[in-house]
């Protein structure tokens, strides 16, 4: 963590503090007493949130059963339905006319969907899934752009207790295939395509390719017509979503499930090549998603217009687009496209048009907007904004200040929220109206959550010391297992410090007791807030005929946080061709990674080398490669089997930079 420590020194000189305004504090949902209540009796506190934020078909008696640790059971004797909580009860309470989704397509088409509309659409979709043979417990894969059907499909699954597995639309056919197979999905819900950067981009061909292996149990593919582009059709398997839903009844009774019934599987990258299917269950997950959404964003459902820019393909889209906000009866914007289509002011145009009051986005987006310049947001009226959130990676103080000053008019609280796919919901964050905000720090665990920073020996390091972030009490939204691989679940999270959750992040407490996140301590990279595994990209490279060996590192990048940099050894026969073809080889390998995993995993640069730095036991020393990739003097090479290797790699890097 040496390189991170240097950054930390800079961070810790950050002394600016932003007190909540008295007006905000006076009407904020959160109060200092929340911490006191949680501290006084943590389980009673969570039970109170569970009763307050959710409606239960069968009330729970037991709050936490941790006898099967590390798999905790929360509210396990209670029964409920996620979709009833997110949709029906708002209609029953007389809020059916409230807008749930303000959809803005990239080409500028719009749809306004009320809670009553949502209930009708979700019921039709649930009836359709049932008529296709989907039963409680069956898995459904969802591979869609950011259109209302993505939310509707998720809620339709949850309505019948069929766990969904959403696969980000930017993932490749190969990635989709392995996820469909691992989750053993029966139905895939997709679209002909979506709009991206001003053009229709196809999705259905990836589904066709994924299913061409003929090794899955998928019997039906439901296809939403979004772009109208031509699609290949497999009769007997493929059905248009609109045709399938047309005759379906608008009445559907939500299926009450046990609190520990699986709600969804979401795949995320780990340190080995195979993505992990993170399993979340119903009750605890929904409690913490709704509770954090309420307090961290200070949601006022009657007046706020909330917008989380995350795609539903990521956990942020699960907890803070679909479940948290809808359970709280929020009105939210759903935007299909990219921030620069058709112009770089598109997001701010949307904020102005809908009067967005709460914005939740990622540091990479903020840094990109900074690069584009303050003049662009300056052209729009952003005075409706009152809370700004950040998630996905550490936010550097400059970006934090810019966000508050340029976007928030120096008025809005900024909440930097730390959490993970595995944690299910926000774990560390300031509470607006309560916490004095400190740029660059996620600050404090939310009430009811306990985190600490430990050294290698598993001892708390206390203020000023760096170490590993751990979570030392079970929390309601925690993952319950890795789908189909319980051993991996135990090894990955619970073995480093037996019985305590190891997050995989480095962290430090400052003198005020605020937490600073320092990035991953394992082979997981964070590119534009997206988690990628070095091993997975290395495997993708090695799967190409030309590549003998590959090493991948995450090099720091001013905009994307980290960028993928690869070092490859080519097979001797490929080498000659490579020398003749020059850059084309690199281009081919970059495209190969995009094909295997998805464009987000495409290396920023690939350097062809003749050897990789290895220890005597054969372990690749990625730390040294990171030095080269970040243009730093190469660190200690004494443990290398051949210490001259780094000289030639550094020389190669310099030569390629000079090209």
How far apart CA 548 and CA 404 sit, in angstroms, is 48
> Which residues make beta-bridge pairs with 332?
101, 306
Q: How far is the CB of 27 from ligand PRX (least distance, A)?
A: 26
Interacting residues of 489 by C-beta distance below 8 A, sequence separation 6+: 70, 71, 479, 481, 482
Number of chain positions touching ligand PRX (CB under 6 A): 21
- Using the rule CB under 6 A, which residue among 416, 536, 538, 596 binds ligand PRX? 416
Indicate whether 393 belongs to the interface with ligand PRX (CB under 6 A).
yes
- Using the rule CB under 6 A, which residue among 238, 260, 505, 523 binds ligand PRX? 505
Indicate whether 290 belongs to the interface with ligand PRX (CB under 6 A).
no
Indicate whether 526 belongs to the interface with ligand PRX (CB under 6 A).
yes
Pattern 244-283, ligand PRX, x by CB under 6 A: ------------------------x---------------
> Which residues make beta-bridge pairs with 99?
114
Indicate whether 520 belongs to the interface with ligand PRX (CB under 6 A).
yes
Interacting residues of 202 by C-beta distance below 8 A, sequence separation 6+: 192, 193, 227, 229, 231
Looking at the Cβ atoms of 359 and 570, the one nearer to ligand PRX is 359
DSSP state of 223: E
Looking at the Cβ atoms of 139 and 318, the one nearer to ligand PRX is 318
Question: Among residues 224, 179, 242, which one has the least CA distance to residue 483?
Answer: 179
Indicate whether 421 belongs to the interface with ligand PRX (CB under 6 A).
yes
Write down how long the chain is: 659
Indicate whether 467 belongs to the interface with ligand PRX (CB under 6 A).
no
* Segment contacting ligand PRX by CB under 6 A, of 125-133, 176-184, 405-413, 501-509: 501-509
Q: How far is the CB of 201 from ligand PRX (least distance, A)?
A: 23
DSSP helix, strand, coil percent of the chain (3-state; round to 5): 35, 25, 40
Q: How far is the CB of 322 from ligand PRX (least distance, A)?
A: 14
How far apart CA 639 and CA 634 sit, in angstroms, is 13
Q: How far is the CB of 527 from ligand PRX (least distance, A)?
A: 10
Q: How far is the CB of 469 from ligand PRX (least distance, A)?
A: 8
Indicate whether 418 belongs to the interface with ligand PRX (CB under 6 A).
yes
Q: How far is the CB of 426 from ligand PRX (least distance, A)?
A: 8
* Segment contacting ligand PRX by CB under 6 A, of 47-55, 410-418, 591-599, 632-640: 410-418
- Using the rule CB under 6 A, which residue among 151, 315, 453, 566 binds ligand PRX? 315
Indicate whether 394 belongs to the interface with ligand PRX (CB under 6 A).
yes
* Segment contacting ligand PRX by CB under 6 A, of 1-9, 326-334, 477-485, 503-511: 503-511
Indicate whether 293 belongs to the interface with ligand PRX (CB under 6 A).
no
Question: What does DSSP say about strands 79-80 and 257-258: parallel, antiparallel, or unpaired?
Answer: antiparallel
* Segment contacting ligand PRX by CB under 6 A, of 48-56, 97-105, 412-420, 574-582: 412-420
Looking at the Cβ atoms of 376 and 461, the one nearer to ligand PRX is 461
352-391 positions binding ligand PRX, by CB under 6 A = 391
Please give the torsion angle defined by the CA atoms of residues 498, 499, 505 and 508, in that order, rounded to the nearest 10 degrees: -90
Q: How far is the CB of 420 from ligand PRX (least distance, A)?
A: 4
- Using the rule CB under 6 A, which residue among 100, 185, 442, 628 binds ligand PRX? 442
Q: How far is the CB of 503 from ligand PRX (least distance, A)?
A: 6
How far apart CA 613 and CA 642 sit, in angstroms, is 7
What ranges in 283-428 are assigned the alpha helix state H? 283-296, 315-317, 324-327, 346-354, 363-372, 375-378, 397-402
* Segment contacting ligand PRX by CB under 6 A, of 242-250, 340-348, 499-507, 591-599: 499-507
Interacting residues of 15 by C-beta distance below 8 A, sequence separation 6+: none
User: SS3 for 443?
Assistant: strand
Indicate whether 419 belongs to the interface with ligand PRX (CB under 6 A).
yes
Distances (CA, A) of 334 to 102, 155, 356, 372, 586: 6, 15, 11, 23, 37
Largest CA distance in the chain: 73
Indicate whether 396 belongs to the interface with ligand PRX (CB under 6 A).
no
Distances (CA, A) of 68 to 56, 370, 476, 481, 490: 24, 48, 15, 12, 12
**Residue 156 near residue 126 (C-beta atoms within 8 A):** yes
Looking at the Cβ atoms of 20 and 504, the one nearer to ligand PRX is 504
Residue 369 burial by Cβ neighbours in a 10 Å radius (0-12, 13-18, 19+): buried
Q: How far is the CB of 56 from ligand PRX (least distance, A)?
A: 27
**Residue 439 near residue 397 (C-beta atoms within 8 A):** yes
Indicate whether 445 belongs to the interface with ligand PRX (CB under 6 A).
no
Contacting positions for ligand PRX (CB under 6 A):
268, 315-316, 391-394, 416-421, 442, 503-505, 517, 520, 526, 531
């Amino acid at each position: 963590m040496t390189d991170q420590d240097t950054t930390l020194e800079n961070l810790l000189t950050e002394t600016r503090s932003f007190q909540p305004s008295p007006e905000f504090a006076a009407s904020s949902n959160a109060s200092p007493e929340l911490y006191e209540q949680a501290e006084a009796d943590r389980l009673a506190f969570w039970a109170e949130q569970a009763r307050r934020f959710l409606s239960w078909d069968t009330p729970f008696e037991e709050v936490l059963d941790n006898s099967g640790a590390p798999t905790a059971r929360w509210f396990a004797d209670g029964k409920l339905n996620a979709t009833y909580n997110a949709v029906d009860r708002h209609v029953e309470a007389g809020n059916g006319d409230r807008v749930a989704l303000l959809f803005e397509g990239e080409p500028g088409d719009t749809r306004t969907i009320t809670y009553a509309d949502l209930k009708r659409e979700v019921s039709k979709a649930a009836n359709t899934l049932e008529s296709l043979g989907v039963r409680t417990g069956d898995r459904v894969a969802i591979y869609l752009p950011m259109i209302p059907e993505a939310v509707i499909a998720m809620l339709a699954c949850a309505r019948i207790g069929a766990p969904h597995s959403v696969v980000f639309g930017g993932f490749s056919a190969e990635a989709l295939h392995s996820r469909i197979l691992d989750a053993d999905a029966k139905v895939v819900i997709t679209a002909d395509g979506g709009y991206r950067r001003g053009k229709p981009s196809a999705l259905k061909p990836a589904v066709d390719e994924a299913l061409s292996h003929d090794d899955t149990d998928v019997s039906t593919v439901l296809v939403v017509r979004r772009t109208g582009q031509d699609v290949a059709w497999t009769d007997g398997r493929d059905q248009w979503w609109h045709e399938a839903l047309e005759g379906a009844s608008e009445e559907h009774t939500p299926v009450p499930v046990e609190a520990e019934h699986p709600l969804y599987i979401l795949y995320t990258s780990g340190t080995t090549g195979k993505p992990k299917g993170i399993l979340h269950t119903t009750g605890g997950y929904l409690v913490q998603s709704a509770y954090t959404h309420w307090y961290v964003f200070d949601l006022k459902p009657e007046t706020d217009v909330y917008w989380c820019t995350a795609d539903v393909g990521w956990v942020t889209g699960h907890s803070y687009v679909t479940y948290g906000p809808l359970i709280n009866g929020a009105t939210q914007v759903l935007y299909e496209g990219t921030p620069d289509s058709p112009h770089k002011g598109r997001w701010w145009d949307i904020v102005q048009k809908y009067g967005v009051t709460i914005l939740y986005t990622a540091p990479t987006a903020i840094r990109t907007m900074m690069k584009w310049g303050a003049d662009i947001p300056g052209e729009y009226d952003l005075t409706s904004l009152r809370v700004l959130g950040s998630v996905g990676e550490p936010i550097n103080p400059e970006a934090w200040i810019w966000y508050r000053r340029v976007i928030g008019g120096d008025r809005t609280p900024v909440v930097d929220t730390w959490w993970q796919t595995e944690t299910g919901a926000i774990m560390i964050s300031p509470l607006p109206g309560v916490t004095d905000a400190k740029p660059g720090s996620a600050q404090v665990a939310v009430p009811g959550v306990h985190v600490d920073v430990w050294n290698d020996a598993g001892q708390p390091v206390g203020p000023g010391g760096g170490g590993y972030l751990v979570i030392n009490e079970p929390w309601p939204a925690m993952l319950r297992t890795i789908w189909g691989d319980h051993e991996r679940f135990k090894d990955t999270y619970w073995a480093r410090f037996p019985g305590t959750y190891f997050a995989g992040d480095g962290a430090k407490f400052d003198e005020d007791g605020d937490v600073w996140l320092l990035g991953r301590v394992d082979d997981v990279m964070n590119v534009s807030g997206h988690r990628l595994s070095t091993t997975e990209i290395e495997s993708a490279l090695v799967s190409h005929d030309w590549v003998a060996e590959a090493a991948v590192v995450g090099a720091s990048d001013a905009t994307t946080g980290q960028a993928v940099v690869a070092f490859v050894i080519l097979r001797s026969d490929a080498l000659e061709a490579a020398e003749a073809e020059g850059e084309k080889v690199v281009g081919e390998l970059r495209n190969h990674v995009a094909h295997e995993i998805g464009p987000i995993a495409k290396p920023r640069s690939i350097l062809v080398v003749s050897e990789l730095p290895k220890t005597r036991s054969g372990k690749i020393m990625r730390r040294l490669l990171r030095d080269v990739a970040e243009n730093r003097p190469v660190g200690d090479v004494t443990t290398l089997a051949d210490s001259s290797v780094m000289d030639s790699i550094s020389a190669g890097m310099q030569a390629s930079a000079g090209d």
